[in-house]
Amino acid sequence: MERIRNIGFIAHIDAGKTTVTERVLFAAGRTYKMGNVDAGTATMDWMDQEKERGITITAAAATCQWNDYRINIIDTPGHVDFTAEVERSLRVLDGGVVIFDAVAGVQPQSETVWRQADRYHVPRICFVNKMDRVGANFVRTVDMIRHRLKAKPVPIQIPMGSNSTFEGVIDLMEGNALTFSGDISQPPGVSPVPEKYREGFLQYRDAMVERIAETDEALLIKYLEGEAISTEELRAALRRATISNSLVPVLCGTALKNQGIQPLLDAVTYFLPSPADVPPVHGLHPKTGGEEVRKATNEEPFSALAFKVMIDSYTGRLVYMRVYSGTARGGDMVYNATKGQRERMGRLMMMMANRREDVEEIHAGDIVAAVGLKNTFTGDTLCSESEPVILEAIRFPEPVLSVAVEPKSKADQEKLADALIKLGEEDPTFRVRYDQETGQTLISGMGELHLEVVVERMRREFNVQANVGRPRVAYREAITAPARAEGRLVRQTGGHGQYGHVWLEVEPLERGTGFVFENKIVGGKIPREYIPGVEQGAKGAMEAGVVAGYPVIDVKVTLVDGSYHEVDSSDMAFRIAASMGMKEALRRAKPVLLEPIMAIEVVMPGDFLGEILGDLSSRRAHIRNMEGVGDTQVVTAHVPLSEMFGYATQIRSLTQGRANYTMVFDNYAEVPEHIASEVMHKQ
């Protein structure tokens, strides 16, 4: 257990995650040939679209051995549209390697993944990549990690030169210089620190020792008394500080030229935690609701979290899982505590991107895939039935962009539904719904690229030809005032009639609160068994609002009065009556249309600031902040999603392709009246 490392490579798009992963797998003897992202030969970018676009779309897992340590690696995407892949990976990993571009430093998506890692308390080490590029600046990147990410970086290596003069790194712990021949199968050359770097080495070494000593009382006393501190003591103290998220070790190199990879692997084994080093996982008992704790040992009852589902054309449905405690074998019956169902695990496999290796048994700390789990989805807990537990599920952001899809032919129509169901199982941020009013099948996702990739996958993997309509914004509706209304259903037919009668009060809630139902019926005016029907009827009426048919959010509904009939009342009658009353109450409660507001960050050379600000203003943006880092300007703003279609093309033409932006959903806000009337007119 102490010799297992579950790590992920996380970073902004194009920082070099996949290239680093390829070098790591080759250096560890896992692959016989180094892949290249630009040539489309990377092991971890195995999907056709990843090869063509040169970006990572889906998180890929691999396992390798380094110095008697087993390292389970997940290579994650950097593009914001695929942030769910990062979210689910960080939920099950014990440590992360955050990769930074030495020229760009901390980029917008770097901040997003850093925040995600903070949320899951994942210890990290940093690797400043691309030290050989023109404009590479190690010191500035470390400063940006400190200021923009509010972290405590401690360099344990410094570069010897940069740009074309980059010749290796100085190991501050061991006090020697490492040079790389370019042949990754050869260990780095070790020599004394060259004289011209001596002063910088002593300065950084002292700063490193001081930083580490501050986190350890025994070392601090030694440091203050001027005693020598051994490398082993420093390493052990830095490991403890890294695991507790007090410090973040920083290394550097250039992956493309195979420089700095072996020391990075050493740092993973030295400083990142094993499954035994992280706190025991906490969960809830599915029946009693009491807290359950599972320690990372093979002796504990079996528990695992499913974090990814993949539909494979050869093996069928693959469920990736992280085993937190206990052991299991292929063919065992396990209990899906989230669904309350028993499932049989078929073959168990260690993953190597899209290749698989069968294993007989899985143990605590493993990241594996299983075949045969038909009803297990992302976020479900698998455990032993005699001692069940539900682990904390994975939270995913809500999709913000919708497009309409329609099959091109009758033959495609039958295959479309099947393809959409399978893609929805794989991706929790991809949603499908049928709009009764427009008769359209709507697919929703995290951005234009996300949906483009989904449609392309439908064509290639499922052989479905589909037409795609213009993206539609996921508007919402809300009420702005309290209101009261009556819902009465009286239908007399032959035999039993239908009778339901309710008085409902509605009031607006704060954004993000959701739906709240309160029952204030006293004296048995409505029997208790009909109350759930009233709640379901009221909730169902909120799925299509009264302004433009969009879902209503953040409403409190109170059932205050009503009546029933001994013979004619039924659950269905009260459900319909509540729906009628709810619709009327919403009309009286001054409903408004809400639109999704995106938090956008644009990074550009200073020359283009005026053009970018002018363009954002024309898109109804509210500028939040502007800051300059060297020649680079960073603008943060809130802007309605409806104004942002085609922005990727526009920003490229405004800045000669030199700017980039990151956009994430922030909140819902009221739509200005003149735009609301346009939206309603289009409906």
Q: Please list the rounded mean pLDDT of every run of 10 residues in the chain (683 residues).
A: 88 81 84 62 58 64 87 77 76 90 84 84 93 90 90 93 87 92 83 92 92 91 88 92 94 90 93 90 88 90 89 78 90 90 88 75 89 88 91 78 82 84 84 72 81 84 83 83 92 78 92 88 87 92 87 92 87 92 93 90 85 92 86 88 79 75 83 82 67
> In this structure, which amino acid lies at residue 557?
V
- Spell out a b/e string for 367-405, using b for 16 or more CB atoms within 10 Å of the CB, else e: bbbbbbbeebbbbbbbbbeebbbbbebbebeebbbbbbb
Cβ–Cβ < 8 Å for 361, 320? no
Three-state DSSP state, 111? helix
The predicted pLDDT at position 15 comes to 81
Burial of 5 (0-12, 13-18, 19+ CB in 10 A): buried
Q: Model's pTM, two decimal places?
A: 0.70
State which amino acid sits at residue 524.
G
**What is the rounded distance in angstroms from the CA atom of residue 613 to the CA atom of residue 623?**
8
Structure confidence at residue 397 (pLDDT): 72
> What is the pLDDT at residue 495?
67
Give pLDDT, residue 35: 61
Q: Do residues 430 and 445 make contact, with C-beta atoms less than 8 angstroms apart?
A: yes
What pLDDT shows up at residue 41? 58
